[in-house]
Structure 1
Amino acid sequence: MTQISNNIYCADFLISLDIKTKLLPNPYYDYPYLIIEDFLSSHECDDINKKVKEDDDYEQAQVKIKDLLIKSQTNEEIRKTNIYKLSEKYLEIYTNRFLEYQAKIEDYFKLAITTSTKVQVLEYLKDSFYAMHSDDSSMLYKNKELIGFTAVAKQRKISTVLFTTSNNENPSDNTFLGGELLFNFLCDKDGNEIKLKPKAGMMLVFLSNPYFTHEVLKVIKGRRISLVQWHNAIIN
């Protein structure tokens, strides 16, 4: 294990790889990712969840298949997710709130955000998941062994995930069981995997490169809803 912050280590093999988009935050931070509590209020989260529940205008998330050049395809062995558009009302609220926190995010990762993608509202229902992936790179395999990464979305420097439902052992309308976000190559000093249990209103901010390869574990029960966005930036 290689220490990358006060409390977090990464798998040693990552250090030996030629990762073109390699970037890590200050190693003296407690964590290499940033958690912003109460980015949205519980009332705002509930309103978004209600809108998603009532909305039948959504599409299934698609995954690009390497050998298919015409278009992406839905591949439910890799990802099973519904994508909604954020309403104009909450897009404005989200955008204004993000601007309030932008300086904090930029200071934490020592970069300057330039452009951002559209906000996607992702819904994971029972048995939905997203397999291990890096937000800015494709994973390269040889004989089923991961041997490296190739950058395919260099414009993604920062990933943000805002949760509007919470992980809970007793799921209800706005909670879910399972659906944790697992950082596949990160662990604590005892070797325990870094598996975050989402909380409504919480935003998770992390670098989009392979060090932060992650997956959404299968939802066992309930509805997991999150707002995701990717940001380009000038690195200081």
Structure 2
Amino acid sequence: MISNNNLNESIRKTILHNPTDKLRELFHKRINKYKNDIEKFFGVSLLKGTDIQILEYKEGGHYNCHADNASVIMKNNHIVGYKVVRSERKLTTLLFLNEDFLGGEIEFCHLRYYNNKRVILKPKIGMMIVFPSHGLFAHKVFEVKKGKRFAIVKWWDVI
């Protein structure tokens, strides 16, 4: 397990784990399968990335709206912007490892589509999502109501 003693649980209640060799292999097989498509879609080349982390959300686990490369700037309890603090994080990749839990959906806080509907995804086993790590794609994880939610995350630098 990765130490996360400094976490403010009102903002983020997750457990971080180091990956096993089996999970590392699973992730790399998946990313290699789609690497060319990802690079073409975003118009980038994936450079080096961080090591993968395993995210565990137990019952009650959640993560408030955040950007993966920036700190939230708040004013009167509202997000007014983001200050980049991890500039090497350009793309986020998330691979969901299970779906046998209630809650735990991911919402992109600032994105809307037709009829102003919120962009909310229910994780499915094996589903991978890739998105820019900056504030426009800030996201949150809804509270897990029952069971445990597991995902692999990796951040990429790109050119």
TM-score range (shorter-chain normalised) is: over 0.9
Say yes or no: does 1:123 pair with 2:48. no
Of residues 130, 147, 150, the one that matches 2:80 is 147
Say yes or no: does 1:198 pair with 2:123. yes
Matching of residues 177-216 of structure 1 within 5 Å: 177-216=102-141
Q: Deviations over 1:45-79 (max 9, x none)?
A: xxxxxxxxxxxxx24546xxxxxxxxxx1211111
Distance in structure 1 (CA, Å) of the matches to 2:68 and 2:37: 22
Distance in structure 2 (CA, Å) of the matches to 1:141 and 1:82: 25
Deviates more, 1:96-105 or 1:190-199: 96-105
Distance in structure 2 (CA, Å) of the matches to 1:211 and 1:165: 27
Q: Deviations over 1:68-116 (max 9, x none)?
A: xxxxx12111111111121113313322332221111100100011111
Distance in structure 2 (CA, Å) of the matches to 1:196 and 1:204: 10
Q: TM-score, normalised by structure 1?
A: 0.64
How many residue pairs were aligned?
Answer: 159
**TM-aligned CA deviation for residue 193 of structure 1:** 0.7
Distance in structure 2 (CA, Å) of the matches to 1:186 and 1:195: 9
Say yes or no: does 1:133 pair with 2:58. no
Q: Deviations over 1:18-61 (max 9, x none)?
A: xxxxxxxxxxxxxxxxxxxxxxxxxxxxxxxxxxxxxxxx2454
Q: How has the CA–CA distance of structure 1 residues 142 and 95 changed in structure 2, closer, same or farther, with 3 Å as cutoff?
A: same
Q: Deviations over 1:209-229 (max 9, x none)?
A: 111010000000011100001
Distance in structure 1 (CA, Å) of the matches to 2:3 and 2:124: 24
Q: How has the CA–CA distance of structure 1 residues 98 and 122 changed in structure 2, closer, same or farther, with 3 Å as cutoff?
A: same
Identity of aligned residues (%): 36
Runs of 4+ in 1 over 6 A off after TM superposition: none
**1:84, 1:122 within 8 Å by CA — same for their partners in 2?**
yes
What's the secondary structure of 1:211's corresponding residue?
Answer: helix
Q: Larger Cα Rg: Structure 1 or Structure 2?
A: 1
* Counterpart position of 1:6: none
**TM-aligned CA deviation for residue 187 of structure 1:** 1.3
What's the secondary structure of 1:127's corresponding residue?
Answer: coil
**Higher strand proportion, which one?**
2
* Counterpart position of 2:144: 219
Q: TM-score, normalised by structure 2?
A: 0.94
What's the secondary structure of 2:38's corresponding residue?
Answer: helix
* Counterpart position of 1:170: none
